[in-house]
Amino acid sequence: MKIKIKLLKPFSDIAGKGEVEIEPKGETVSDVLNSLCELYPELKKEIFEESGEVTYSVNIFVNDKPMSALEDESTRLKDKDEILIFMPVGGG
Amino acid sequence: MKYLFTYPEKCTGCRQCSIACALKKLGECNPKKGAINVLRDEFDRYELQFVCLQCEEPECVAVCMVKAITRGDDGIVRIDPEKCIGCRMCVIACPYGAITSFGGDIIKCDLCDGDPVCIKFCSTDALVYEEENEEILDRRKELAKLLLKKE
Amino acid sequence: MISFPAKLKVGTYYIPHCLKFTTDTQEVDSMLKRKLGIIDLSKEKISIQDVSESLRKKLLGGRGMNMYYLWKMLPEGIDPLSPENLLIFGTGFLSGTLAPSSSRFNTSAISPETGFLGDTNCGGFFSAEMKYAGFDRLILKGKAKKPSYIYIEDGTIEIRDAKGYWGLNTLDVQKAFRKDLGQVEMVVCGVAGENLVRYACLRTGIKNAGGRTGMGCIMGSKNIKGVVAHGGMGIEIAHPEEMLKTVEELKDYLLSSKISPILGSVGTPLLYEVSNVLGGIRTKNSQLNAWNDNFNASEVEKFVEKMISCSSCFMHCRHRNTLGGEGPEYTALSLLGTNLGIEKLEDCIKMQNQVNDLGLDVSSTGTYLAWVTELYERGLIDDKLTGGIELKFNDYETYSKLIDMISRREGFGDILAEGQWSAGKLKDPKHDYLIEVKGLPQSDPHDVRYMKAFALGIATSSRGADHLRSRPTLEIFFKLPPEVRNKIYGAEIANDPATLDTKEHVVAWSENIFATIDCLGMCKFICHGFNSPHFVDYDWMKRLINTAVDWNYSDSEIREVGPRVLDIERLFNLSRGMTRAHDTLPKRYFDDPAPLRTAKGHHVDRKEFAKALDRFYEVRGWTNEGMVKKPRIEELEAIA
């Protein structure tokens, strides 16, 4: 299946692009992130802790829902799903 | 010997260095009584730190008539408060404006005897405490990158 | 010429009047001995008082103490522009100390823009200097006979003639004060405040502002151009080594977050991109909810010369821009950018610089200009009313001209200067097209039709449509284990941003902790729950307090401060005529589904909202009509 990933700052700066389309090995969000980090190894330390967990300074939306409203990294995806990766920041 | 080095282009004007200094030395939060002072002018758009450079041949030592200021074996220039008469000649003589005269007190950096507190509160490395030869080496390497376009 | 009609004896010695601005006797005081100055401008009388330690323990300082005095000292029925209104400048409990980002102060009064609670929080260097001048609070009442300014220095207060300063805008007047008075810090109003524009703001520095609720207008109504501070009175700390150790630890903790370097290099504009992608940006008066990429942080970066700080701040999130000013913040990118259909970032930055110089609030100005543009497009108003000015989105030249006219109340600018009070004249008497709550235009750029917790937050905020009373983001933004998330909020929280279900807990929790940090005078940017669960929480706050004073302040004591402040604010608003009907949303958020992006189709359902409001009142401990219960009122009346 094909998954479209939209990267926002600072992840877009690190990967060098804002949009990536990948065919992940596997169907969960975790699998997609792993495939993404294989393509762009510098992203690995931004997205993952040493333990392998996704860090809190990353937020991920699957289509229109945050990962936390689904099954976190175990969320199963289907073909043409869109993933949004960004840093959660506040402000005014 | 280690010295304090300042990089005004990195200074954000937050004054935590000054506040920490006065807090440690005098027990009060007061940036005007720090041995390091940050001059801020948001209209002229600059931030500039002033702190003692522990000169090899200090002007302040030369002008002090009561010999209250001495340069120790550790390279640190100190004012002895017992001898100081508060004439402020050292304040005027220092070419770097590094000595503070405030409310009757003459305040000068003594590097906290080798463990300066100010650097612990600078979030941008606008203030570092380094061996003089290491500091110049770091800066030369930065310049080399720029001049030789090595990135 | 300077006149000194009101000089004070402080303690048992008299501070000599002189033109030098450092004195030889510097009195060192703990933060508990900072004074309250009550200035009667009509009678030219000044009273300097101590504040009881027990009151400080209950409300700490900053916003909380301001609210207390407003509630206790203001009788009902006062017109905000009358001399009877009070204007309170209050530093935070920890302002001016080593505590990180302890640079904030609150300014409070009855708002001329809404008629309800007026309160605004501002950073920069004024708060710290006011503390070093010996004061933590000034209460202004009455009205000066002629344009004046307040000067405070080392325990003294003077009312001085503002001749030569009145008539200047916020940058020129501050430069003039510095030239004449030395390295002073000040809070001023601009020409907009002098002309009583209802949303004129307070300003300090190049861009720091106490923006919302028209406090600059109140300054103008009292004939006060500014409050100027200069002081060398350090704040004596109970446990200096503990404070040094604690703040060093906190600094390392804050800077270890991956979010910190981003905030410090790009600032709030970072949020634009994600809000835009999701469809959460107020665009063209919220007719749209997304816009172009010209306002992304990567574009803003091109205009940044250097990132700088407010007093005591490690985060340095403020931009010194290459167009001669500072900013833009995320809010300006929208309110003076996308909301006006602006396509070029440079036009937005120039308008932001202009608005700051004149002393006008960014959010109100941007909302009102968008409002009348839509009204004009719909044919509700025409050239006769606008004085021949054609209104259309993306018209930078016209908007810039109007901003000037608003500050001088000239022509159509006079109608705009009245804000929501001109709704009748503008043929929108029911505010159908005005994005406001309680009469206050919405502060932030967020189109809240998708993020329902935000919607509940702006509907219930005590000063009107505002995102700084609460900023409920944790529940959807962070990959937190549910148990941890629920422990923070004290209840099961739904993660779906599009539902109102359980969001009353998120909003209430957020309100409480933000009120607390506002009492401390620390910046919300490093507050737990604003950007991250990784920042300053109740535990850090308690630790910082206990290094500064010998209170042994407990966890339960600090958690009681927020609810106390919110209840006092509610009581104040109720006394000004607020009812449940005011806790609502703009018609557009209810009735018009969002048109674009992820948010497409979303809107706030009125029935769901009513139920959420019921639940919110219950969490706050209020009645179903939103009233504070009698036992609680008695409890609050007895706190000092």
Look at residue C531 in the predicted model and tell me its pLDDT.
60
pLDDT given for residue A92 in this prediction: 52
C582 vs C570: CA distance, rounded Å: 12
Q: Please, what sign has the CA dihedral across residues C35, C107, C119, C124?
A: negative
Query: Which residue type sits at C506?
Result: V
Helix, strand, coil percentages (3-state) for chain B, rounded to 5, are 35, 25, 45
Residues 6+ apart with CB under 8 A from C420: C113, C114, C431, C434, C436, C439, C441
Is B14 in contact with C174 (Cβ distance < 8 A)?
Answer: no
Kindly indicate the confidence band of residue C6, based on its pLDDT and cuts at 50, 70 and 90. very low
Interface test with C, best of A48, A64, A67, A72 (most C CBs within 10 A): A64
What Cα–Cα distance (Å) separates residue B131 from each residue in B76, B78, B94? 14, 20, 23
Interface probe with B: pick from C30, C98, C179, most Cβ of B within 10 Å: C98
Is the pLDDT at C635 greater than 80, yes or no?
yes
Confirm if C527 and C94 have CB atoms less than 8 A apart. Answer: no
Q: Which residues of C touch B15 (CB under 8 A)?
A: 311-312
CA-based nearest distance C268→chain A, Å: 5
Handedness of CA C545, C56, C111, C195 (dihedral sign): negative
Of C313, C255, C319, give the one whose Cα is nearest residue C96: C313
The answer to whether residue C263 neighbours chain A at the CB level (below 8 Å) is yes
ipTM confidence: 0.96
Q: For chain B, how far is it from start to end, CA to CA, in angstroms?
A: 30
Report how far residue C38's alpha carbon sits from residue C106's, in angstroms, rounded to the nearest whole number: 16
Q: What is the DSSP letter of B118?
A: G
* B/A Cβ contact: 3+ pairs below 8 Å: no
pLDDT for C14 equals 28
Tell me if C56 sits within 8 A of C74, measured CB to CB: no
Indicate whether A91 belongs to any domain.
Answer: no
Give kind and range of the element (H or E) at residue B122: none
Query: C22: pLDDT confidence band, cut at 50, 70 and 90?
Result: very low
Cβ-based burial of B142 (10 A; exposed 0-12, middle 13-18, buried ≥19) = exposed
Q: Please tell me the least confidently modeled range out of A12-26, A75-89, C1-15, C445-459.
A: C1-15
pLDDT value at position B134? 93
Nearest to B122 by CA among B42, B25, B38: B38
If one counts the domains in chain A, the total is 1
pLDDT digits (tens, 9 = 90+) for C308-365: 999 999 999 999 999 889 989 999 999 999 999 999 999 999 999 999 999 999 999 9
Q: Is there a contact between A92 and C530 if contact means CB atoms under 8 Å apart? A: no
β-strand partners of A22? A3
Can you tell me the distance from the alpha carbon of A15 to that of A36, in angstroms, rounded to the nearest whole number? 10
Delimit the domains of chain C by residue range.
Answer: 9-18+27-236, 265-437, 441-637
User: CATH number for the C441-637 domain, one of 1.10.599.10, 3.40.50.720, 1.25.40.10, 1.10.10.10?
Assistant: 1.10.599.10
Task: Note the pLDDT of residue C523.
Answer: 95
Asked whether residue A92 is assigned to any structural domain, the reply reads no
Q: Which residues of C touch B107 (CB under 8 A)?
A: none
Q: What pLDDT score does C406 carry?
A: 98
What subunits touch chain A, counting only 3 or more CB pairs under 8 A? C
Interface touch C277/A59, C-beta < 8 Å:
no
Mean pLDDT for the stretch of residues B123-150: 92
What is the H or E stretch that residue C6 is in?
A: none
Domain containing A60: what range?
Answer: 3-86
Whether C9-18+27-236 shares its CATH topology with C441-637 is answered no
C2 part of contact set with chain B, CB < 8 Å: no
Q: Quick one: DSSP state of residue B119?
A: G
Say whether residue C243 is in contact with chain B using an 8 A CB cutoff.
yes
C534 part of contact set with chain A, CB < 8 Å: yes
Could you say which of A9, A65, A67 has the minimum Cβ distance to residue C273?
A9
Contact C196, C216 (CB under 8 A): no
Per-residue pLDDT for C8 more than 80?
no
Bridge-based pairing state of the strands C202-204 and C117-122? unpaired
Chain C residues near residue A16 by CB distance under 8 angstroms? none
- Read off the pLDDT of residues B8-63 as tens digits, 9 standing for 90 and up: 999 999 999 999 999 999 999 999 999 999 999 999 999 999 999 999 999 999 99
Give the residue-averaged pLDDT of C22-34. Answer: 62
Question: Any chain B CB within 8 A of the CB of C272?
Answer: no
Q: Whole-angstrom Cα distance, residue C186 to residue C359?
A: 14
pTM exceeding the 0.90 threshold for the entire prediction? yes
Q: Give the CATH fold of the B2-51+109-148 domain.
A: Alpha-Beta Plaits (3.30.70)
- How far, in Å, CA of B128 to CA of B113, rounded? 15
Question: CA C62, C28, C188 angle in degrees (round to 5)?
Answer: 40
Mean pLDDT, residues C58-67 taken together: 98
pLDDT value of residue A88: 76
Gap from B120 CA to chain C (nearest CA, Å): 7
Q: Which site among B7, B11, B12, B21 would you substitute to test the C interface, given the most C Cβ atoms closer than 10 Å to its Cβ?
A: B12
Q: Which of C26, C178, C312 is opposite residue B16, by nearest beta carbon?
A: C312
C9-18+27-236, what's its fold? Aldehyde Ferredoxin Oxidoreductase;  A, domain 1 (3.60.9)
Q: What is the mean pLDDT of residues B113-140?
A: 95
Give the fold, CATH level 3, of C265-437.
Answer: 1.10.569
Chain B residues with beta carbon closer than 8 angstroms to that of C309: 12-14
Of residues C130, C44, C50, C43, the one with CA closest to residue C91: C130
